Structure 1
């Protein structure tokens, strides 16, 4: 059997998983609220924490039958995680959201994936392989779950195997009215021809390689003899050069050692001088900063005291105004009340003159 080579992967779906995603249900009497667990969360008595883990899901797909020449098998491998929005939509399943998602959407994913697999019934995929169809199914699953507030990363695997069959079955497939069977038969014949051409090419290359190796062995023997003489001459020259370089290196090391000691002494003196200067400057800066900070703090405190005094005066004035308004309001209400009482008494007790007239 021969497997199709998949197309190279040109990108991936960004799932946006979170390893520590959890939701909290706060229940107080008949009321409850669901929210995402915050950072530095401290559990309370009326809180229940539900984890939303990243879960695995495998779905076997039923691929279309393409006859005895080709066998198709397909499967979905889904890694998914429920979101806060999905948890809010299904609060009654918080303890088993993963199983709820599998039970609710398995038939949907299986149906749409197997419908896409029907594209294998045409012969167009034989030239480029099945990777394009795998990517289309993966994108479709991603979109279906995303529209339902479920984050996912899907991997679709389609294995197409061409069987090694006898010539009679190939002839039957070639004369068949089914274009898919004809395409598969042509693909098998094409691969057989390519395999034969590859075998002949490899045999020819093997013969050329053996001849080339034989010539190279003879050439290597001559080269080795020549190299041995050159190595002996090179070794003698190397010994002379090493002795000369050793003497020069010793002289250079002595000179560098003397220069280094002088440079170290100069650098030590310069460093000590610089440290003394920096220490003196730091002391002076510290004294100036202390003096400046004391003056600023004293000025700030004086301003704060003045503002507090003004604020007290303002509050006292407002309180006095309020008391005056209240006193005036009480006097006005009292006068109005007395006036109405006098009018009412006059109406109830008429004068003697008015009675005689009557």
Structure 2
């Protein structure tokens, strides 16, 4: 045997949790925290009685407490030729009764030490007797809970008969040692049945543990998937909220653009009216300037004409008339040209203003159209990005689900193969046991034949 502990220790220790046993009546020892006993001495006579409620200290009597004490005992039992070691931990909580104190009145100050010294051997003998019953090996399949309860009840009842109130708690911890395969199937190892039962329990516990781990992993995977789904739903809600917010922003931007266009149009109308007034004012000023120039020219010509008349009084009468007519004609032509030039200039200015207004209107319409195009393009780009993100998240979720499913299938296959391997190993152990028994019978037959 080796010193390495067998992994079945935890299995057998946990059998009490797996076994469904009916609830038993809880033992009530009847402890009393304030229990005291009075010892009175009058001459050669002693008297012992419980402490009354209205107790007064006197020189001939003294009150002694009967406390609730704790007591822990340990015991070890080796079973199956050293294959299993059971460590027993017995925790006792006891209190002496009035009757026990009365019967042991001379030891009342050392009551706790008296109980431990007097009953330790009895308690350990009861524990050892129950531990020896474990040699049959039936507890391997059903656990040690019944044995623990039996030990507790026997000790509690035994001490109760001795007028000692007690509550016992027994804990049995089995430890198995691993055997080499050669020793297991050796005919000298007489505890093969117990070893096979331990192997069977180990196999059942391993399968159950793997199933429990698989269920926990599946539950954890479901929780993760629910969290992923919640995150995805939250993402969709946020995407819808962002889309609604973008639509609201788009409507607000459109309204702002329309208001801005209306303001620009009103501004252009006002500027156009102001420009027309300026042109009319400039035209009137130019007309006045042309008229003033014409008047000055007329005055100058008149002065020149008067001077010429003075120089040429008689000889130039006919020539003077011709010149006057020519001058009047020239003045009329000059005034007509000035008017036509002013009208043409005003028309050019008006056409220029009209073209500028038309150009500004075109520019405004172009800016509004560009703003709408940019806004629509941005909205489409955001929607496409959100759609791509959603598709990407969906692909990641599908890949993760597929990977989890593959991993679960692999784990299931590994668990299945491991279970089959353990089953085959147990079958092989059974066959080896049968072979060893046959070899042992053959040896016995040979020995009988030789004798």
| In the alignment, structure 1 residue 81 sits paired with structure 2 residue 95 | yes
Match of 2:135 in 1: 121
Q: Mapping of 1:90-169 within 5 angstroms?
A: 90-169=104-183
Is there any run of 5+ residues in structure 1 with no aligned partner, and where? 236-358
Bigger Rg, which one: 2
SS at structure 1 position matched to 2:57:
coil
| In the alignment, structure 1 residue 35 sits paired with structure 2 residue 49 | yes
Is there any run of 5+ residues in structure 2 with no aligned partner, and where? 1-6, 18-22, 246-451
Match of 1:300 in 2: none
Aligned equivalents of 1:41 and 1:211: distance in 2? 70
Aligned equivalents of 1:208 and 1:47: distance in 2? 71
Aligned equivalents of 1:36 and 1:169: distance in 2? 64
Instruction: Calculate the aligned-residue CA RMSD, in Å.
Output: 3.5
Give CA deviations for 1:63-105 in whole Å, capped at 9, x if unaligned.
2433343221113211111111011111111111111111111
CA drift at 1:129 = 0.7
CA drift at 1:124 = 1.2
**C-alpha contact 1:85 1:149 (8 A) present in aligned 2:** yes
Residues 195 and 31 of structure 1: CA distance in aligned 2, closer, same or farther (over 3 Å): same
Residues 60 and 234 of structure 1: CA distance in aligned 2, closer, same or farther (over 3 Å): farther
CA drift at 1:206 = 5.4
| In the alignment, structure 1 residue 191 sits paired with structure 2 residue 202 | yes
TM-score when normalising by structure 2? 0.45
For 1:57, which of 61, 65, 71 is the aligned residue?
71
How many residue pairs get aligned? The number is 231
Q: Comparing both chains, which one has the higher relative contact order based on Cα–Cα distances under 8 Å and sequence gaps of 6 or more?
A: 2
SS at structure 2 position matched to 1:93:
helix
Match of 1:7 in 2: 16
Aligned equivalents of 1:108 and 1:41: distance in 2? 37
CA drift at 1:200 = 8.1
CA drift at 1:40 = 3.2
CA drift at 1:38 = 1.2
Match of 1:228 in 2: 238
CA drift at 1:61 = 2.3
Aligned equivalents of 1:91 and 1:62: distance in 2? 35
Give CA deviations for 1:287-336 in whole Å, capped at 9, x if unaligned.
xxxxxxxxxxxxxxxxxxxxxxxxxxxxxxxxxxxxxxxxxxxxxxxxxx
**C-alpha contact 2:78 2:84 (8 A) present in aligned 1:** no
SS at structure 2 position matched to 1:35:
strand
SS at structure 2 position matched to 1:20:
coil
**C-alpha contact 1:64 1:117 (8 A) present in aligned 2:** no
TM-score when normalising by structure 1? 0.55
